[in-house]
Structure 1
Amino acid sequence: MEFKDLEIFQLVAEKGTITGAARELNYVQSNITSRIRKLEAEMKTPLFNRHRRGMSLTPEGKRLLTYTSKLLSLKEDMEQSVQTDQEPSGKLEIGTIESVIHLPKILSSYVKQYKKVDLSLFTGVTESLVSDVLNHKLDGAFVTERDFPSDIISHNVFEEELVIVSDTNLSSVEALQDKTVLCFSEGCGYRARLMNWFKDQQMKPSKIMEFGTLETILRSAVVGLGVAFVPISEVKKLHEERQLYFHSLPEQYSKIRTVFIRRKDTHLTPTIQKFIDTIEENEFTIASM
Structure 2
Amino acid sequence: MQRIAFLLYPGFQVMSLAAASVFEFANIGVREPIYDISYVSETGGRIVSSIGMAVETIAFGDPALDTLIISGAPAEVVPTEGERRFMQAALAASRRLASICTGAYFLAHAGLLDGRRATTHWSVARDIQTRFPRIKMEEDRIFIIDGPVWTSAGMTAGVDLALAMVEKDRGIDLARAVAKKLVVYHRRAGGQSQFSALLEMEPKSDRIQNALAYAKGNLRTPLSVEQLAEAAHLSPRQFSRAFRSETGQSPAKAVENLRVEAARLMMEEGRHSIDVVAQETGFADRERMRRAFLRAFGQPPQVIRRNAQRDSLA
Return the TM-score normalized by structure 1.
Answer: 0.27
* Bigger Rg, which one: 1
Return the TM-score normalized by structure 2.
Answer: 0.25
Greater strand fraction, Structure 1 or Structure 2:
1
Greater helix fraction, Structure 1 or Structure 2:
2
